[in-house]
Chain A
């Protein structure tokens, strides 16, 4: 059975340092939630508090409606896959997977059945007698997942489980994880700093910064409607372009240094004359002049197969610009080009608060801010 998770004002302090600051988060039963953020943002600490490996300084944690704030890890009906796999090196794969069940004195045939079933799901039936040191990174990762599956917990916790794998294996395991979640349907909290993992696996993404939730939303929401500058800069690759500007009219932002005026998709309610940051996704910059044209000096052109990423500076202001344009355009390096904007990819942020003025906060931080 799957169980929902509820974090109520959860705070973690180490001495005077607040690592996690009053987080409120609800994961529905069976939901796949990804906590994402830069190193030190508190995502792993949050996961460890859910697991019971870290004591909560303030607030409450509920799993399946039961308050587990002070419960031992084994009393929470969870299973965790560690970044470092954490396989018991002195035990075989089968012993690793069955360890938790042997501690509960489960019948031997039941243990064998569950280990066999998990091994079959993960394709590691031929590895059951091996010791962890005789396994490759990908195989160890599968065993770590197998150890979690065998316990048939209500909640799965993953702490950057793919970060030690090479790019190819990571992509493969990502797909397998998605399939596994579809198959088991268990509530999953997954921590990563890799936004590709977050975007591809999550039903909802939670973006953390300095222990505070910046936004919670579906991958589409956080990409298309970032609530603030941090989310806008964190989600999306290449990173969103940010230009200093002024709101010249309700539907127009001037970039004084670049001597360009950019039309907005809709008029804003903010005061005209307000200093703003204009954010444009690299995919929102199109080759060729348009209604408003940005002039770019291309320094490097990176051809990625289906698109070319142009890196350079904005003529006039010298601010860095990145444009992702379809097709091969390697010849544009060291040239000055014209770019037009796609209003759908344009965002305006308050220069003081960093909030998105086009999509003002609806749900807010900690699901309320």
Chain B
């Protein structure tokens, strides 16, 4: 009995430490964003200071913020949509059609995703340069689609496999051609997978820094690259950097909450006997 209680206490302590490790940096980010540059160095991690929204005002009303925000939204949304579009079709093809090397492709797709993005930065820069894709949002979108597709295909492949083939057969007897089966039967049933893939893809496209830094210029810069501009030769503008970081974190957060509602299990419940 005593041991159980001790174990419970230990468990809560461990969970609290883990939670603190997760929340701590976010808290520091928000606190710093509400401080003046002077307060950043004088108050340390203290909660006791006179908060100011000056950093947010400076960041938001900066002449370039709007452009960077639009760039990030375009890159994030379009690359997510394209990744889902190609990903679900590739996953369906891998799961349902038989062709040479199908299983090998299905199971090795994910290996491509294990390569760190920093490793491909230089070759991508050279190839994109040759193809005249640098300094364009299209080039960045293409890259993020390529980077995110393997995981999306792998994830959706598993979801498509869970859709009973009998449903597709029933639909074909009901009068659906292959495209209609895919759109009317399969896609609605892999919605949780699409939502999970969308969260993953959008988050990477929105937050990615290294490749965006290499491939963009003043007009095509995304928000994470813009944040790096607060690191200057004469020092780091912590307040503004943290204010922008806080703002950058909001859209993926909202998107995740929205999309996560679709990530529910049991969509195929009742389709076939369990």
Complex contacts, A78 vs chain B, CB 8 Å: 173
- The reply to whether the CB of A329 lies closer than 8 angstroms to some CB of chain B is no
Complex contacts, B176 vs chain A, CB 8 Å: 74, 103
Contact A133:B269 (CB < 8 A) given known A82-B166, A86-B169, A90-B188:
yes
Are B172 and A53 within 8 A (Cβ)?
yes
Complex contacts, A88 vs chain B, CB 8 Å: 167, 170-171, 185, 271
Complex contacts, B267 vs chain A, CB 8 Å: 89-90
Sort A-B residue pairs by CB-CB distance and give the 5 closest, nearest first.
Answer: A133-B270, A132-B270, A84-B272, A86-B166, A100-B174
- The reply to whether the CB of B273 lies closer than 8 angstroms to some CB of chain A is yes
Contact A82:B270 (CB < 8 A) given known A90-B189, A103-B176:
no
Complex contacts, A135 vs chain B, CB 8 Å: 270
Are B270 and A79 within 8 A (Cβ)?
no
CA distance A78 to B172 in the complex (A): 11
Report the count of interface residues on B (CB-CB < 8 A): 23
Docked complex: B158-207 residues within 8 A CB-CB of A: 164, 166-167, 169-176, 180, 185, 188-189
CA distance A256 to B270 in the complex (A): 58
CA distance A164 to B272 in the complex (A): 10
Are B172 and A72 within 8 A (Cβ)?
yes
Contact among B166, B171, B173, B269 for A84, CB-based, below 8 A: B166
- The reply to whether the CB of A60 lies closer than 8 angstroms to some CB of chain B is no
A133 to chain B: closest CB distance in Å? Answer: 3
- The reply to whether the CB of A80 lies closer than 8 angstroms to some CB of chain B is yes
Are B169 and A82 within 8 A (Cβ)?
yes
- The reply to whether the CB of B108 lies closer than 8 angstroms to some CB of chain A is no
Chain A residues within CB distance 8 Å of chain B? 51-53, 72-74, 78-80, 82, 84-90, 99-100, 103-104, 131-135, 137, 140, 147, 151, 164
CA distance A350 to B229 in the complex (A): 95
Are B272 and A86 within 8 A (Cβ)?
yes
Output the residue of B164, B175, B176 with the most chain A CB within 10 A. B175
Are A89 and B269 within 8 A (Cβ)?
yes
Complex contacts, B172 vs chain A, CB 8 Å: 52-53, 72-74
CA distance A133 to B167 in the complex (A): 15
Q: What is the 8 Å Cβ interface bit string for chain B, positions 252-268, against chain A (1 contact, 0 not)?
A: 00000000000000111
Complex contacts, A82 vs chain B, CB 8 Å: 166, 169-170, 272
CA distance A90 to B267 in the complex (A): 7
Question: 17 additional contacts, CB 8 Å, given A79-B173, A86-B170, A147-B170?
Answer: A51-B169, A74-B172, A74-B173, A74-B174, A74-B176, A80-B169, A86-B272, A87-B271, A88-B171, A89-B267, A89-B269, A89-B270, A90-B188, A103-B180, A133-B269, A140-B270, A151-B174
Output the residue of B166, B170, B176, B273 with the most chain A CB within 10 A. B170
Output the residue of A72, A78, A135 with the most chain B CB within 10 A. A72
Are B175 and A164 within 8 A (Cβ)?
no
Contact A137:B273 (CB < 8 A) given known A79-B173, A86-B166:
yes
A132 to chain B: closest CB distance in Å? Answer: 3
Contact among B164, B174, B189 for A99, CB-based, below 8 A: B174
Are B266 and A51 within 8 A (Cβ)?
no
CA distance A78 to B207 in the complex (A): 53
Complex contacts, A131 vs chain B, CB 8 Å: 270
Contact A133:B266 (CB < 8 A) given known A84-B273, A87-B271:
yes
Complex contacts, A80 vs chain B, CB 8 Å: 169-170, 173
CA distance A134 to B266 in the complex (A): 12
**Across the two chains, which residue of chain A brings its CB closest to B173?**
A73
**Across the two chains, which residue of chain B brings its CB closest to A140?**
B270
Contact A86:B164 (CB < 8 A) given known A134-B270, A137-B273:
yes
Are A51 and B173 within 8 A (Cβ)?
yes
**Across the two chains, which residue of chain A brings its CB closest to B174?**
A100
Contact among A85, A99, A100 for B273, CB-based, below 8 A: A85
Complex contacts, B167 vs chain A, CB 8 Å: 86, 88-89
Complex contacts, B270 vs chain A, CB 8 Å: 87, 89, 131-135, 140
B270 to chain A: closest CB distance in Å? Answer: 3
Complex contacts, A100 vs chain B, CB 8 Å: 173-175
CA distance A79 to B270 in the complex (A): 20
Contact A89:B174 (CB < 8 A) given known A82-B169, A137-B273:
no
Are B174 and A86 within 8 A (Cβ)?
no
Output the residue of B174, B268, B271 with the most chain A CB within 10 A. B174
A77 to chain B: closest CB distance in Å? Answer: 10
Are B173 and A89 within 8 A (Cβ)?
no
Complex contacts, A53 vs chain B, CB 8 Å: 169, 172-173
Contact among B171, B174, B273 for A164, CB-based, below 8 A: B273
CA distance A301 to B166 in the complex (A): 44
Complex contacts, B266 vs chain A, CB 8 Å: 133
Output the residue of A53, A140, A147 with the most chain B CB within 10 A. A53
Complex contacts, A51 vs chain B, CB 8 Å: 169, 173
CA distance A99 to B173 in the complex (A): 11
Are A103 and B174 within 8 A (Cβ)?
yes
**Across the two chains, which residue of chain B brings its CB closest to A48?**
B169
**Across the two chains, which residue of chain B brings its CB closest to A76?**
B173
Complex contacts, A85 vs chain B, CB 8 Å: 271-273
CA distance A135 to B172 in the complex (A): 24
Q: What is the 8 Å Cβ interface bit string for chain B, positions 29-40, against chain A (1 contact, 0 not)?
A: 000000000000
Selected A-B contacts with CB under 8 Å, 20 pairs: A73-B172, A74-B172, A74-B174, A74-B176, A80-B169, A80-B170, A84-B272, A86-B167, A86-B271, A88-B271, A89-B269, A99-B171, A99-B174, A100-B173, A103-B174, A103-B176, A132-B270, A132-B271, A133-B269, A133-B270
